[in-house]
Structure 1
Amino acid sequence: MRKKFLVLLLAGMFLVGCSSKQEEKKTTDSTKTEEKKEESKKDETKKDSIGFDGKVAELNDLKIEIIEYKIIKVGEKGNEYGSKPVIAFWYNTTNKSDKEIDPTSAWMVVFTAVQDNNKNMVNELKVAGHPDASLLDTQLAKIKKGGTVKNAVAYELSDETTPVTLKATQGMDGKDLGQKNFEIKK
């Protein structure tokens, strides 16, 4: 009788142990599933935040925020040596990755400037001389992860009335992120 009691007691303990391990496994699996769902939501949110709203271009690896723009006439400060008026943009570039990113390359990969004043072809504007001597040392600076560096860029205008459309893409020939027209202020 004593042996039967011990066998039954051990069997009962074994079953209780198995049952609690199964519950623990179910809880762990459930937690992992929830974590995967949260991770997936974060990825979707990250993908949704990629774009250009006319002021900020947000990509996976970097963010470019346009601070200001202005038209600089020939001979004025920032366009002392040019032969055409320019549109100049000042911006901050933030590195969100471990990649080597500098503000000038980031801008050139993301943005194209166009004046739609030719019915037969796309009029992409040419890059002009750097419009801000105080930023010459930072234009090719390697931005640390999480760091932000200010820079500027200018484009030669083909006329002084047609707005400049700044088009953003996810890398050269990449996905269209948006665009904004910038009026030629006088």
Structure 2
Amino acid sequence: MKKKIVAMMLAGVMACGLWACGGSEKPKETDKKESQNKEENVEVPKEDKKDISFTDDTLTIEDAVIKITGTEVAPPNTELGEEKSTLIFTYDYTNTSDEPQQPGVVWIACFNATQETDSTIEDLDVAMAPQDPKYTEMNEMSYTDVKPGATVQSVISYDINDTTKPVTLTANQGMLGEELGTKTINLQ
């Protein structure tokens, strides 16, 4: 349980770094006399903007591409103290930024999973990493720095409140960015 809390705190802190993605910075003001006496060099921004979207299970943002490759519902692992079933997402992560990025941090910054009950809409908590040996390598990749241009396979899971009701995965352009789309996962 301590590992889960530490991992969540670390992911949250690292996700804060993604808040700035897509932000704009005000240009510095210069002294009027200085600007009148100097020739102004204007840099034209590159026109290679990516198509920012969430379609066909693929999230494309400025710094990454995440392609959902599978989902699975796993029963609670009582040996590890789990009380709820988990919804496991596997995905291919491509770092399209100029800096190393961690797939799990980008996922948490861009995706939110919810589930409706009879009277509420609940945000699902990120669960402990799936312990099945088939996920070992993907678990390791989740919080490993991925080089710019590289693609890796990763995994993340959520605690499910009710295994009979669908889960809605909402994709956003970063923590505070605009909503890009949703995917409904039927658990049965």
TM-score (norm 2): 0.68
Separation in 1, partners of 2:81, 2:64? 32
The aligned counterpart of 2:179 is 176
Residue 154 in 1 paired to residue 157 in 2?
A: yes
The aligned counterpart of 2:146 is 143
Superposed CA RMSD: 2.1
User: Secondary structure of the equivalent of 1:137?
Assistant: helix
Tell me how far 1:54 sits from its aligned partner.
4.6
Tell me how far 1:80 sits from its aligned partner.
5.3
The aligned counterpart of 2:82 is 82
Q: Deviations over 1:96-126 (max 9, x none)?
A: 110231111011001000002253x430001
Separation in 2, partners of 1:136, 1:163? 25
Separation in 1, partners of 2:86, 2:165? 13
Q: Deviations over 1:46-96 (max 9, x none)?
A: 3xx2111151000011000101001001239xx954211111000111011
- Shift in alpha-carbon separation, 1:103–1:54, aligned structure 2, 3 A: same
Tell me how far 1:135 sits from its aligned partner.
2.5
Separation in 2, partners of 1:66, 1:148? 13
What amino acid does structure 2 have at the position aligned with 1:174? G
The aligned counterpart of 1:66 is 68
User: Secondary structure of the equivalent of 1:136?
Assistant: helix
Separation in 2, partners of 1:122, 1:174? 21
Moved over 3 A (4+): none
Separation in 1, partners of 2:151, 2:104? 13
The aligned counterpart of 1:100 is 100
Separation in 2, partners of 1:99, 1:149? 15
Separation in 2, partners of 1:179, 1:50? 14
- Shift in alpha-carbon separation, 1:174–1:136, aligned structure 2, 3 A: same
Task: Return the structure number with greater helix share.
Answer: 1
Give identity over the alignment, percent.
29
Q: Deviations over 1:23-49 (max 9, x none)?
A: xxxxxxxxxxxxx9xx65x54xx3xx2
Larger radius of gyration: 1
Structure 2: segments with no counterpart, 5+ residues: 1-43
Tell me how far 1:173 sits from its aligned partner.
2.0
Aligned residue pair count = 140
Contact (CA 8 Å) 1:87, 1:156: kept in 2 or not? Answer: yes
Ranked by relative contact order (alpha carbons within 8 Å, sequence separation 6 or more), the top structure is 2
